[in-house]
Structure 1
Amino acid sequence: MAVFNFWVQLAVMIVSAIISYALAPKPPSPKPAALADFDAPTAEEGRPIPVVFGTVWIKGPNVLWYGDLRSVPIKKKGGKK
């Protein structure tokens, strides 16, 4: 009788795990970041250059170059080597 009870409990556990996996909410897949998502400072002609003493936060800095921001598609398939 104890062996039968074990198999019943095991079957109930497996069925409940399958049902909970099937009914679980699927999270939305995240969108890849685009260049428009970055808030990089820009360089404009005629913009005043602030004089800063100490450590302060500048709202609109005038930056000439800000990294190599471009997107490169991944063309390799993963998994098998």
Structure 2
Amino acid sequence: MFSFLVAIGISILLAVVAFMLMPRPKNNVPDMSRDLEIPTAEAGRPIPVVFGEGTIKSPNTLWYGDKDQETVEISA
């Protein structure tokens, strides 16, 4: 019984060491995706208010149409 508990303890210790030595993924965002000006929905993002005429780049929206693709067949 004692050897079983020692084996479990060693396996848990090795799992913790393996987790600590595991390389962390880098969260690199490509430049192109940062420059997109598409509607997004982010919590805590300020809502711009425009008085008069103006263009809002990258508005904060909750829904932006159906993003479906439809196949169109052209007969010659």
TM over 0.5: no
What is the TM-score normalised by the length of structure 2?
A: 0.44
Greater Cα radius of gyration, structure 1 or 2: 1
| Greater relative contact order (CA < 8 Å, ≥ 6 in sequence) | 1
- Under a length normalisation based on structure 1, what TM-score does the superposition of the two structures give? 0.42
